[in-house]
Structure 1
Amino acid sequence: MPELDFRGLDAAAQAGFKPHFAQVVTVARRRRSRRRLLAVATVALLAGVAGVAATRTDPAPPPPGLAPDRTPDFIPTPGITPTAEPRRQVNTGQPAAGDLSHVYLRWSECRTGCPLRWAGTDDGGRHWRTGPLPVPDDANVDLRSAGPGTIVAAYYTRSFATGWIASADGGASWREVTVRRVDALPAGWRLLGSSGPAAEPLLAADPATGDLAQLTRPPALRMAALVESVPADAGVWVSGFTGERTEADGRIVGVGSAIEVSRDGGRTWSRHDFPEGLTASDDVGGPAVATWDGQTVYAIGRVRGALVVWRSTDGGGTWGRAAGTAVVGQRTIRAAVRPDGVLTVQAGISAGEDPMMLASSDGGATLRPAPLGPGADPRPVPGGFVQTGWPDSKGAWLSADGLTWTWLDPPELP
């Protein structure tokens, strides 16, 4: 079996277990700051609309909808609640959705050395089932859903044992899976994004069986990331850099922003290099890529702290820079195109980044403040979309139309 790339998985797993104590100290200040920023943005937006009412006819993009039932903050401030007596601690992983009804996660009752288990729901969170994960107790596990009843999990141990397991019956039974190398990923299989920079070739899972296929060649771009928010029929999109450099402190950073797209499962690729150091993250990938139909495509990132938007109307063949911009500093960028054609941009993906939302209904010509909520980093699933706010949020948001979202609480596990 080929050696798997799990760089970043351990850090990601530990991030879910680590309290953000600094954020507990600053929560009050950040909330006051958000209220002030929202008030200023509202006044500026109303003034701008009044000033251009004679020339602009397109309406402001509607905010992402939430179901009428009470939901938590989109990105709640992490912290701990002191208690007088020790309490049982349950550590859960990032939710993985097969569709809007079937959601799975891994969990354990202590930080290390406890048997790992899975939890799953078949009815959108009303009832949950649990069972053991057949991996060593010291393993780190990256659990993914390949289909409504199909789960795959990559694991590695402190003794460097690695492997994949899969279940095609919702977790009732599991088997070891050997990754098969292919020249093109099979049509209809679920693409599996990497938990770190993709030094290994792209991987896909059969939604019926959990079988795994991996391209024979890794992405040509450095520190590449699969764009998971793109609909399956829009092709395979990868964002990354054309080169790397080592900083004085030893950090490796990407240089030269680019994206690649394949319309034949990864057999052939077309590439576009951007003239600026367009980046959506300091850790992995180049610009954030957003498209609904694979034809109108946006590449969004920051350049010297300012948001920059590039747009293509021919599936990435040619590109032009849009006029819309905003000051985002060093925030991590996520973006998606909603079903109604509105471009949604999220700057900041954790509470520590003080996130903000922007939207454009005119092809990126203008970017307007929008309410903070899901929709900028969705994962297409049969019947709709799912988005998580991991690690700050342990649950998930589900949507049948990409516009109205409902909250799925993590389970109270036995």
Structure 2
Amino acid sequence: MAELTDLLDALAARPAPPHGLRADDLFTLGRRRRRRRRAGAVTGAALAVVVVLALVLAGAARWRPSGGTPVVGASSVAAPRAGAALSWAAVVDAAHAYATVPVCDPGERTCSARESILRGTDDGGRTWTDRGVVSARQVLTALGRDTLLAGDGEAPMRLSTDGGRHWADLPDGSAPVSAVPAGGAVVCRTPDMRQSCKLSAVDPQSRRIAPLTHQPDLIMATAYNVVDPAGQIQLAGDRIMVAGADRRTGRPAVAVSGDRGRTWSTHVFTDLPCPEPQDCGRDLPVVSVQARADGTTGFAVVVDTKERRAYVYFLLAGDGWARAGAAIGLDPSESFYRSFVTADNTHLMGLQSVPWDAPPRLRYVGLRAGAYEPVALDGLPATAMPVRRSVGGVFSAFDQPSGVLFQSADGRHFSPFPLG
């Protein structure tokens, strides 16, 4: 994973952008390096299926952590200190939430950008406590109210079962396992970014990670040791959906398991405009998938960046994939960001515009009467992103310019979550 480490280090060394580092920066830097290595090679990709990385690498949400550097296991109420930026946050349920902030003011010359303070609340945000120091490069995922998983481009992953107060390396299992256990997670594991990853199951009870015995029949473009880094893996109920590309044609494809990874079926999207095999996105065979919380309905988004159109498909339990409405036209200034499924089973797509002198903004479209039409999310600013659904069914997003963390029970109506 040296390549991913180099990319993150290179981005960390750059001057901070005015509105925080975006996932597009990681993609852009990686593609530039890859193009330099492929100088002189022909790369015809008329149809590229694109998804925005779900990693929230950095933000500009203002929040004030405690002074000094806490140690792992510290659990003291934090005193405010000015000048910090909220870099990650997640609401698990009405009582539990987590967030990370830098250990010091990023403007200070002696400040290290490699570490962050993990903070948590167990009382709905009335009080927050320092849980310890974590690597700023690690991507955190809340698997439950007290269970956190951390990973980056280097093994091993790390696990905490006490709300981030103590962490332990997650050793790889000696033998494959048949399925992802209840309360566990499925991750994409690979020793090299140039290789297709292998799905592995995280078991918080045994504190181990092991590859699944049966792997989906497709090529996964994602190569990060984190949970769902680019909207390519969804675990909802007993259903797992994995996005990638067909091994034979390079066309976008989605593999589905209805029994937590024991068996798989793969669907290749053959009805997309793709006159030549090399136009099917072989260089970037990525598709975004989302699912209803219980797994009964799945969605896949494919974006044609040349024609600037997005195609949405849906999957019902027991049925095959079908097109959801007509193709969605993208404005010249917009790109597909990420989608999510509300509590009432409405699929909402986020379309992002990035003004040169202002924070990125999102507008949402949702399927209505056979077409995707604009949808307003009550109480959520256009600059709040991304919207995520927790294992507890709570939707959350944080607004970088204002520093407000928002929560919602239905994915449509949002209100601020107290930051203490």
- What band does the TM-score fall into relative to the shorter chain? 0.5 to 0.7
Following superposition, the deviation at residue 344 of structure 1 comes to: 1.6
Following superposition, the deviation at residue 322 of structure 1 comes to: 2.6
Residue of structure 1 in register with 2:160 after alignment: 167
Match of 1:325 among 323, 328, 332: 328
Match of 2:396 among 379, 383, 387: 387
In structure 1, stretches of 5+ residues that fail to align are 24-76, 81-86, 245-253
Any conservation in 2 of the 1:258–1:287 contact (CA below 8 Å)?
no
Identity %: 22
Change (3 A) 1:164 1:113: same
Any conservation in 2 of the 1:306–1:328 contact (CA below 8 Å)?
no
Pairing 1:241-390 to 2, within 5 Å after superposition: 241-242=245-246, 255-275=250-270, 276=272, 285-291=286-292, 293-303=294-304, 304-315=307-318, 317-320=320-323, 322-323=325-326, 325-329=328-332, 331-348=335-352, 354-362=361-369, 365-371=370-376, 373=380, 377-382=387-392, 384-388=393-397
Matched, 1:402 2:406: no
User: Which stretch shows the higher mean deviation, 350-359 or 258-267?
Assistant: 350-359
For 2:200 and 2:341, locate their aligned partners in 1 and report how far apart those are by CA, in whole Å.
24
Change (3 A) 1:153 1:327: closer
Residue of structure 2 in register with 1:185 after alignment: 179
Q: TM-score, normalised by structure 1?
A: 0.62
Match of 1:93 among 87, 95, 103: 87
For 1:5 and 1:102, locate their aligned partners in 2 and report how far apart those are by CA, in whole Å.
35
Change (3 A) 1:113 1:341: closer
Cα distance per residue 1:246-281 (max 9 Å; x no partner)? xxxxxxxx952111111222232111111227999x
Cα distance per residue 1:222-267 (max 9 Å; x no partner)? 31494579562150111122369xxxxxxxxx95211111122223
Cα distance per residue 1:286-324 (max 9 Å; x no partner)? 144444554443322323212322334455624346336
For 1:183 and 1:255, locate their aligned partners in 2 and report how far apart those are by CA, in whole Å.
29
In structure 2, stretches of 5+ residues that fail to align are 22-58, 63-80, 275-279
Matched, 1:233 2:237: yes
Any conservation in 2 of the 1:257–1:287 contact (CA below 8 Å)?
no
Matched, 1:104 2:98: yes
Residue of structure 2 in register with 1:130 after alignment: 130
For 1:232 and 1:402, locate their aligned partners in 2 and report how far apart those are by CA, in whole Å.
16
Any conservation in 1 of the 2:146–2:161 contact (CA below 8 Å)?
yes
Any conservation in 2 of the 1:228–1:379 contact (CA below 8 Å)?
no
Q: What is the identity, as a one-letter code, of the residue corresponding to 1:306? A: R
Cα distance per residue 1:165-206 (max 9 Å; x no partner)? 332222333333313253333331342556998943334444
User: Which stretch shows the higher mean deviation, 10-19 or 125-134?
Assistant: 10-19
Q: What is the identity, as a one-letter code, of the residue corresponding to 1:154? A: G
Change (3 A) 1:389 1:124: same
